[in-house]
Chains A and B, each alone.
Chain A
Amino acid sequence: MSFPSTDILYPTDSAELEAVIGDALANHRSLEIVCGGSKRALGQAITTDQIVSLSELTGITLYEPEELVLTARAGTPLAEIEAALEEHNQQLAFEPPDWGPLLGTEMAQSLGGIVATNLAGPRRFQAGAVRDHVLGVSMVTGRGEAVKTGGRVVKNVTGYDLCKLISGSYGTLAVATDITVKVLPVGEKTRTVLIAGLDEADTVSVMTKALSSSYDVSAAAFLPCDLTAKSGVSYVSGAASSITAIRVEGPGPSVEARCLALRELLGAHGDVEELHFHNSHRFWQEIGNVSPFVEEAGQVWRVSVPPSEAAALVQKIQNVCDAEFYFDWGGGQIWLRLAGDHNDGGAKFVRKAIKNGGGHATLIRASEDVRSCVEVFQPQANGVKALNHRVKQGFDPGNILNPGRMELLIGTVSDAD
């Protein structure tokens, strides 16, 4: 994706960013905040007067493996951070996915981008999302003021936890300049148990059985038969049936024992196979990166519901439109690809299937046109929506930071019939 020909500003430190935002506030100019631009296609489509890139704000400034903390400037490429962590057998435990291929961009992800979007991979239900790992943030608010929150220690309740607020705020409240995250050890070993042939209702109860066991499962996903062929892991692509996958990680002897125990626990439900290091790693990368939908056209939704409602929800949607799906997070996250091109992105089918307040659906892949007129994020109850507005007002009173990225400003296509 290339940027439009608008001027792009590249602040190199917090003071320059303060000046950029201060000027924009004074001159009523809106700013789109990017780094490489890998996530410009996420959220509502927006146009602004100016683009500000954080790609000159890079570098790891503190990494103390024995303290489990790392601080880096917001524009630091995620790959650079992951490489530094790998040297000490550590990782970002929320398993940041790479949706670049899904969204059709080859730009590298930055730490700031992954924090702004609060993305998390298959380990989410066990290890938490980005928001659970951000310990401190230095930022410049929409008031053009440098503010810091949190610290560099893993346990801290001093003042409001603005780290949570910034995580997943899509750059609409403040622009992070430095971010401190908690890092964790990589398990010595990883194994994935595969169970073949379950349907979508049975798989949720099998995944629940595994997740309720004492075997400390770190990922649980389900690929229907149609999607298994797309996997680069031969055990999966050659399965000719649906695949339910359960992952365990940790010290070697423990992983081997738990893997064995899970095979026994779940063996009665179907044929069992297991994936070791490379295959396991590749499989979960495909699940996190939404690889099954990369090659196929069509609007893609991410739905989060209580796992027990996953199967019925998919059934409801498939009754009214042609859709493919797979489950992650033990059924708590459903990936949907709709066939055909819906003017509303399929919002009326998808959102109607969710019980009121019982989950949320986000339109992840759709054309800019669709993302300009459909609510990408789950519409909120009025009281919460008003509160969100007041929070935004406190940080960005001029509405100059990524205005409209998280909320449709005009011309909503109604979800209702």
Chain B
Amino acid sequence: MEMPEPDAATIARRASILDELRRIVPAASVIAEEEGLRAYECDGLTAYRQLPLIVVLPETTEQISRILRYCNEAGVKIVPRGAGTSLSGGALPLADAITLGLGKLNQIVEVDYSNRCVVAQPGVTNLAITQAVEDDGFYYAPDPSSQIACTIGGNVAENSGGVHCLKYGLTTNNLLGVEMVLMDGEIIRLGGKHLDAGGYDLMGVVTGSEGLLGVITEVTVRILTKPPAARALLIGFDSSEAAGSCVAAIIGAGIIPGGMEMMDRPAIHAVEDFVHAGYPLDVEAILIVELDGPGEEVEYLVGRVDEIAHASGAISVRASRDEEERLLFWAGRKAAFPAVGRISPDYYCMDGTIPRHKLSEVLKRMAEASDRYGLGVANVFHAGDGNLHPLILYDANVPGELEKAEEFGAEILTLCVEVGGVLTGEHGVGVEKRDLMETMFTEIDLMQQQRLKCAFDPAQLLNPGKVFPTLHRCAELGRVHIQGGEMRFPDLPRF
């Protein structure tokens, strides 16, 4: 993956940039020494590393505004960063850019039960929002697996999901308002504690914009009442087709489970060896179906899903009898990534989404590719919404294996697009999938997306080198091309 050529002139004036930053924030909030910078050299996509030019850790919106205004005027690039848990390189530093860490803005500003929302600074972790309200019976629904560490600001930037998002939505469906700073230093507010503000839904496009449109400095999210009951079913199948048709039958019956996860044979075995969750080992696929809600509803739906599972040819069906057993069913799924980490020196986690009925075709072609590349693959799958996480097994110490794993990964994602799916369901494009964007979008599509970028950041200083394979200058994008200029359309019916 090639990043844009660093600007030598910016690097040459590093000392004066440092001086300026120290005028805006306390000296201790500016990191310039190599050992300090080292902590920021990568995010969750650890295959890519780069020392940032400087790291700055502001404490207030006002400081962020001043930093961005200065950088905009001085032509210095900015890479915003939350906790650095991105799996797509969204927070990968650039040699000629300041990494703007938002970790010090870590306060919950307000818990408002009468309007059922929480106002928080961007550096608050996802889980901390739930922790702030759980004693009163509430929670924040999106739950990415990194929720202990990942920040709510990063969740907005990536539009994070989690295992419950089929029923409860992604970040974008749970976000009510943001305060953000634009690259020119302007502080704006979009949305609030009310719903559906007039004007364009800028909050909607900022969500999932991967730090390219502005820096989020405060969020307002809705909180929900914790469902009083939850039970999970652990269902085994002798083929992934059978598991897939069970998922379709559950949804076809009008049931939207709180969570519905599938794992294939390699993933099941890796997990069972690791956490002993009691998963059946004589099956090709398992499904974990969780029903949550009022007690009567959960009991009723557990019965329905049990019937549907048997009718879909399940070999084994177990419903959790108590909370301990429910958590045990989940313990395996939640440990899937580290479990795979035990059977392979390295693994590369992919994130495509496919129309669900294409699952067996995709798994079959993935197995063929696995043989061709000589690299193993284990699959975990958010089955309800078609979000597939193939884990490609490789060894970074074997020369060429990383490149081979990346090539295999690109082939899988291209396959996802080919069958009608998309490149990324929840991890983001970042640098990782940047060069695959053209498999899904035409150049005209991508140019239109970049015109949105130009509306927010015309000098393209915010997180450059991410998401878009080709950077066009905003002046070029703004040109209007008129073809012909005469009515080419005499035949349309008119009256």
Interface digits, B389-413 against A, CB 8 Å rule (1 contact, 0 not)? 0000000000000000000000000
Q: Let me know if B173 and A128 touch, CB within 8 A.
A: yes
Task: Please tell me if A213 contacts chain B, counting CB pairs below 8 Å.
Answer: yes
The residue in chain A whose Cβ has the minimal distance to the Cβ of B167 is A184
* Residues of the A chain whose Cβ atoms lie less than 8 Å from the Cβ of B115: 306-308
Report the tally of A-B residue pairs with Cβ distances under 8 A: 317
Which residue on B lies nearest to A151, using beta carbons?
A: B422
Q: Which residues of A lie under 8 Å from residue B387 when comparing CB positions? A: 155
Distance in angstroms between the alpha carbons of A12 and B190 in the assembled complex? 37
Using Cβ atoms and an 8 Å threshold, which residues of chain A touch B385?
Answer: 153-155
Q: Does A320 contact B (CB under 8 A)?
A: no
A residues 3-46 with Cβ under 8 Å of B? Answer: 7-11, 16, 19-20, 22-23, 25-27
Secondary structure at the B interface, as helix, strand, loop or mixed, is loop
Shortest Cβ gap from A276 to chain B (Å): 18
For window 422-468 of B, CB contacts with A under 8 Å fall at 422-429, 433, 437, 440-442, 444-446, 448-449, 451-456, 467
Partner-contacting stretch, out of A234-242, A251-259, A288-296, A341-349:
A251-259
- Say how far B356's CB is from chain A's closest CB, in angstroms: 6
Q: Are A131 and B200 also in contact (CB < 8 A) when A9-B494, A153-B354, A153-B355 are?
A: no
Are the C-beta atoms of B195 and A332 separated by less than 8 Å? yes
Which stretch from A74-82, A190-198, A366-374, A381-389 is at the chain B interface? Answer: A381-389
Take A157-B158, A185-B256 as given contacts and tell me if A377 and B199 are in contact as well, using a CB distance cutoff of 8 Å.
Answer: yes
A307–B172 touching, CB < 8 Å: no
Interface centre among B297, B382, B425, B444, by most A CB within 10 Å? B297
In Å, the complex CA distance between A185 and B167 comes to: 11
Contact, CB under 8 Å: B197 / A304: yes
Residues of B with C-beta under 8 A to A129 = 195-196
- In contact, B205 and A257 (Cβ under 8 angstroms): no
Residue A321 interfacial (CB < 8 Å): no
- Which residues of chain A (319-361) have a CB below 8 Å from chain B? 329, 332-333, 357-360
Query: Which B residue sits closest to A119, measured CB to CB?
Result: B196
Distance of B413 from chain A, by nearest CB (Å):
10
Is B492 a contact of A160 with CB atoms below 8 Å?
no
Name the residue on B nearest A384 (C-beta).
B188
Number of chain B residues close to chain A: CB under 8 A = 111
- Cα A88 to Cα B483 in complex, Å, equals 46
B445 touches A148 (CB 8 A): yes
Q: Encode A66-108 as 1/0 by CB contact (under 8 A) with B.
A: 1111000000000000000000111000000000000000000
Q: Interface with B: A139-147, A221-229, A266-274, A277-285, which one?
A: A139-147
Q: Are A22 and B482 in contact (CB under 8 A)?
A: yes
* 8 Å CB contact of B200 from A163, A169, A216: A169
The docked-state distance in angstroms from the alpha carbon of A80 to that of B466 is: 42
Instruction: Identify the closest chain A residue to B416 (Cβ).
Output: A153
Bound complex: CA A160 to CA B453 (Å): 9
B488: which of A9, A19, A149, A163 is its contact (CB, 8 Å)? A19
Q: Does A114 contact B (CB under 8 A)?
A: no
| Chain B residues whose CB sits within 8 angstroms of the CB of A185 once the complex forms | 251, 254-256
In the complex, what residue of chain A is closest to B255 when comparing beta carbons? A185
Query: Which A residues touch B420, using CB under 8 A?
Result: 151-153
> What residues of A have a CB within 8 angstroms of the CB of B382 in the complex?
155
| B contact residues around A384 at 8 Å (CB) | 188-190, 199, 202
Are B256 and A184 closer than 8 Å at their CB atoms?
A: yes
Whether A380 sits at the interface, judged by CB under 8 Å, is yes
B69 at the interface (CB under 8 A from A): no
Could you tell me which B residues sit within 8 Å of A by CB distance? Answer: 112-116, 137-138, 158-159, 161, 165-166, 169-170, 172-173, 182, 186-190, 192-205, 207-209, 225-228, 248-249, 251-252, 254-256, 293-297, 299-301, 304, 353-357, 382, 385-387, 420-429, 433, 437, 440-442, 444-446, 448-449, 451-456, 467, 477-478, 480-489, 492-495
5 A-B residue pairs with CB within 8 Å: A23-B489, A66-B252, A157-B158, A157-B159, A394-B477
Q: What is the interface of chain A, defined by CB distance below 8 A to chain B?
A: 7-11, 16, 19-20, 22-23, 25-27, 64-69, 88-90, 118, 120, 124-125, 128-129, 131-132, 141, 143-149, 151-165, 167-169, 173, 184-186, 188, 208, 211-216, 250-254, 256-258, 261, 304-308, 329, 332-333, 357-360, 362, 377-378, 380-381, 383-385, 387-388, 390-395, 397-398, 406
List 10 extra interface pairs beyond A216-B294, A384-B199, CB under 8 A: A10-B493, A26-B482, A67-B248, A67-B357, A131-B196, A167-B201, A215-B294, A253-B297, A253-B299, A383-B187
9 nearest interchain CB pairs?
A164-B204, A254-B297, A394-B451, A185-B254, A377-B198, A390-B455, A306-B193, A26-B485, A257-B296
